Amino acid sequence: MSLGLTTAQALKLWHDVNLAMVRDDGPDLSLRQMTILLTIYLEAPPHTVRDLAAKLAVSKPVITRALDSMGKLELVSRRRDDKDRRNVLVQRTVKGALYLERFADTIGGLSKAV
């Protein structure tokens, strides 16, 4: 399916959503954090640190630190893999789901005005 965004529409939508995020109180997730969060919630599990690092083309410590930060915000949780206890499985949380739901509503609402 194609959304058929023109250049001007794309930039205006991005601007409006970014502006809403900047003006919003509460902590802003960094670009990497947001990408990790969306990956976890949009793609099928399991999600390991190694997989996420590969998908984002980023070092593993970047993932670990982002999971630390988002874990404090309870947007994400971690669990050891029982099949292979070297692995850490990144899991969704209720707060994380609500966060993204609210975020999607913001985009959806603003896209109506583009």
Partner DNA sequence: AAGGAATGATACGGTTCCGTAACAATTGTC
Partner DNA sequence: GACAATTGTTACGGAACCGTATCATTCCTT
At CB < 8 A and 24+ separation, what contacts does 97-100 make? Answer: 97/41, 99/37, 99/75, 100/37, 100/38, 100/41
Nearer to DNA, 8 or 44 (CB): 44
Confirm or reject binding of residue 76 to DNA (CB under 7 A): no
Q: Is residue 80 helix, strand or coil?
A: strand
Confirm or reject binding of residue 69 to DNA (CB under 7 A): yes
Region from 69-77, 80-88, 90-98, 99-107 binding a copy of itself, contact rule CB under 8 A:
99-107
Q: At what angle do helices 31-42 and 49-56 cross, to 10 degrees?
A: 120
Confirm or reject binding of residue 67 to DNA (CB under 7 A): yes
Q: Which of 114, 80, 103 shows the shortest CA–CA distance to 29?
A: 103
Binding partner of residue 50 among a copy of itself, DNA, none, CB cut-off 5 to 8 Å per kind: DNA
Give the Cα separation of 92 and 4 in Å (integer): 31
Binding partner of residue 48 among DNA, a copy of itself, none, CB cut-off 5 to 8 Å per kind: DNA
Region from 69-77, 79-87, 89-97, 100-108 binding a copy of itself, contact rule CB under 8 A:
100-108
- Sole residue written with tokens 């960094």: 30
* Binding residues for DNA (CB under 7 A): 30, 32-33, 48-50, 53, 58-69, 78, 84-88
